[in-house]
A and B are shown apart, each in its own frame.
Chain A
Amino acid sequence: GDSVTQMEGPVTLSEEAFLTINCTYTATGYPSLFWYVQYPGEGLQLLLKATKADDKGSNKGFEATYRKETTSFHLEKGSVQVSDSAVYFCALTPNSGNTPLVFGKGTRLSVIA
């Protein structure tokens, strides 16, 4: 079935460091891809999305590009801040319509000043 694999954490970075969190997927057809962020004690919030190959999603300085040839959707940020400390989830919907999101296991990021 459809699945998402993320790099395992935790990831610890110093403030202003470059961030990459790897995400690869297995799906039939053309899924939509998402990154969600979960701050401590809160629910999940959509960070960015991409719905077709070569689309780039971006928000709050984070970017991810939908790479069909490598089935990847890696999350990047050029300069992280302490406030970016959170758990990041990569997710997909197998196809358009009302189908449930399939999540990776999450990657915890800690940014230290």
Chain B
Amino acid sequence: KQEVTQIPAALSVPEGENLVLNCSFTDSAIYNLQWFRQDPGKGLTSLLLIQSSQREQTSGRLNASLDKSSGRSTLYIAASQPGDSATYLCAVSPLYNFNKFYFGSGTKLNVKP
């Protein structure tokens, strides 16, 4: 069974810093990996989707990389802003059942002004 781990569980940084969030998964037979952000009391907002054949995806200040063989993905946030404060979740879908996402427990990010 796929297990997804996110480290660190919480992160506090001053505004303007570049930061990296980590996601690891135990089964490399994945279909894709998706990064989400969740604001308190809100739903999930999709940030980036990486197909298993891709190495990275970029959107604005966000860059997500995927190393399928080592079971790792990173989310890089450049020039962090207080508005980036949220919980970031990664989710992987198995190759054999791509309609199912396995989620990590998230990294709670606080960007201080």
* A and B: bona fide binding partners: no
Q: B: which residues have CB within 8 A of A?
A: none
